[in-house]
Each structure stands twice: as structure tokens, then as C-alpha cells.
Amino acid sequence: MTSILTNNAAMAALQTLRGVNDGLKDTQGRVSSGFRVEKAADNAAYWSIATTMRSDNKALSAVSDALGLGAAKVDTAYSAMDSALDVVSDIKAKIVAATEKGVDKTKIQQEIDQLQEQLLSIAQSASFSGENWVAGASGTKSVVSSFVRDGSNAVSVKMTDYVLDSGTLGNVLFGMTSTGAIETTSGIIGTALNGTYGGVAVVMPSMYALDITNFTQGQLDAALSGTELILQAMTAAGSALGSISTRIQLQETFVSGLHDSIASGVGRLVDADMEEESSKLSALQTQQQLAVQSLSIANSSAQNILTLFRS
């Protein structure tokens, strides 16, 4: 039966066309944005995971920046300690020279005075971003090392610590007062040695206050032993700083790789497969054309009824 009031064929063709148009709209949106899941309505679970991981990736970017800052602090401290080692080695050589009979110790002391001032200058200038890791009171210095999300979704920031020790044969050149001034009576260079250290009995002024002008041979020997202990302490401090520097470099590499892995994982969840979407787009465009043609044919069927009423 053909009716001019109800065209079932046209309604079916129109419904098909609407469905094709909806699919075409979705596909065009994925092609233009590059996302398969752009909003929560597309896939709530994937959208939620991707949003959380993108947030974590931003935090990892901040960690990477903090690691760079921490590496600069540690490298500054290591360079200062390495330079100070060279200066103390020079002082050691001067003490050895002073043991020679007939040597003018006053002249040698003048050279030592300059080297002592150089040690103070190194300690004062070894500051980066307001932090000095080779001159300071006993305490803890920290750098950000990682951002962690555990199995219960609790987040935290992990730190790498370096404990400053301004005591005798500790790991800083000089101590520091509460006002931020260098304290020349503490630290490896500022503390006098008076006791037994590692089985070696030593009595000598601090390296910074050392004055060999009137030293006897016995005092020179003690100063030489004390200088060797100081060099050992500085070497240990330099080694510790070098180890932290290496750890930070490894962590920087890991964080960079982790950042890329998370970005890749998020992409697998929400990125559109452009080859697939291109094929869908072509197919839907063809279906749209056929649906329009089908609707046109269905609408023209009513026109055929007119021939029944022509005389």
C-alpha cells in the first residue's frame, strides 16, 4: 500500500542518513583533534586515567627541572672541594719545603697565607641558588629526586639528602654562623687538630690559622700529618659529592624516560588511529551519498501516485 500521509521508506532512509551523519561527525572530530577519547563522554574510564597520568607527567617535568637545579648545586660544591684539595696540596708542599735546613720559613708562610685566603674565597663563592654545600653548619641539604604515586593513589615527592658535618674532619671546609657568615673556627679547614685520628696522634692549629714561621721540626712533622688527615677528609667529602652527582644524573635519565613512557601510554589510550579513521571517513562519506540517494528515491515514490489521477 502506498500512502501520501505516511512514507515508511522515506522515514527509514532518513533514519539511516541521520545515523551515517552522526558517525561522520564523530569521525571528523577524531580526525581533526587526533583524539579517540577527547572528553569523558567518549570513554569515562580511559579519559579519567589519561587525565590523571597527564597531571603526573606535569609533576615529572617539575621534578626534572628540580633535578637540574640540584645537579647544579652539587656540581658547584664538587668543583669547590676539588679546587680546595689542590690548594691544600700546595700547602702540604710548602710544609715539606719548610723542613729543609736553612729555609726562610717567613717567606714560605707568606705563600701559605695567600693559599689560606684562597681557601676562604673558595668556600665563600661556592654558592648556587642561595645554598652552599661546602660551607655551613651541621644540617641536611636536600634535592628533589622523584614524584611517586603508589598503589593506593597516594602521591609524594622523594628527596636525596646530603648531611653537612662541620665538626673536626667533617665534610665542609668551614662552618657558618646563624647569620650566614663563614665561621673560620669550624669545618675541615677551620678546626684545630688535637687528638688521635685514625690511629694518628696530631696536635696542630687549624689549616686556616696555620703559621709555621717559628715551628720546630717536630711541629712541622705534626703539621704534615695533620695536613694529610685534612686531605683525606676532603677527598672523602669530594667522593660523596661525586656519588650524589652520579645518582642525580641517573635519576635525570630515568625521569626523562619515564616521562616519555607515560606520554606514550596515554597516547595508546586516547589517541586516534589515523589510518583507521581515514578509512572510516571514506566509507561514511560514501554511505552518506547513498543514504541521500535512497531518501531521494523514497520521496519520489509519492510523486508516482499523481499518474493514477491523470486522465
Name the CA radius of gyration of the chain, rounded: 39
Cα–Cα distance for residue pair 204/202, rounded to 1 Å: 6
What's the pTM? 0.77
Give the Cβ contact number of residue 122 at 10 Å. Answer: 22
In the prediction, which pLDDT does 102 show?
A: 84
DSSP state of 307: G
In the prediction, which pLDDT does 147 show?
A: 87
pLDDT in tens, the chain (311 residues): 666 666 777 788 788 878 888 777 877 777 877 788 888 888 899 899 899 999 999 999 999 999 999 999 999 999 999 999 999 999 999 999 999 988 999 999 999 999 999 999 999 999 998 899 999 888 999 988 888 888 788 888 889 899 999 988 999 999 998 888 899 999 999 999 998 887 888 899 999 999 999 999 999 999 999 999 999 999 999 999 999 999 999 999 999 999 899 999 988 888 877 777 778 878 878 888 887 887 777 777 667 766 766 65
- Residue 282 burial by Cβ neighbours in a 10 Å radius (0-12, 13-18, 19+): exposed
Asked if residue 135 lies in contact with residue 199, where contact means CB atoms within 8 angstroms, the answer is: no
Among 270, 274, 273, 272, residue whose Cα is nearest residue 54: 270
Give the helix ranges, DSSP H, for the chain.
8-33, 44-98, 105-125, 187-190, 217-270, 274-303
CATH superfamily of 55-270: f41 fragment of flagellin, N-terminal domain (1.20.1330.10)
Q: Which three cell numbers stand for residue 271?
A: 589517541
Task: Give the amino acid at 31.
Answer: V
Cα–Cα distance for residue pair 168/85, rounded to 1 Å: 17
In the prediction, which pLDDT does 8 show?
A: 75
Phi, psi at residue 194, to the nearest 5°? -155, 80
Q: DSSP letter string over 183-235? A: ETTSHHHHSPEEEEETTEEEEE--TTT---TT--HHHHHHHHHHHHHHHHHHH
In the prediction, which pLDDT does 186 show?
A: 93
In the prediction, which pLDDT does 302 show?
A: 66
Cα–Cα distance for residue pair 284/281, rounded to 1 Å: 5
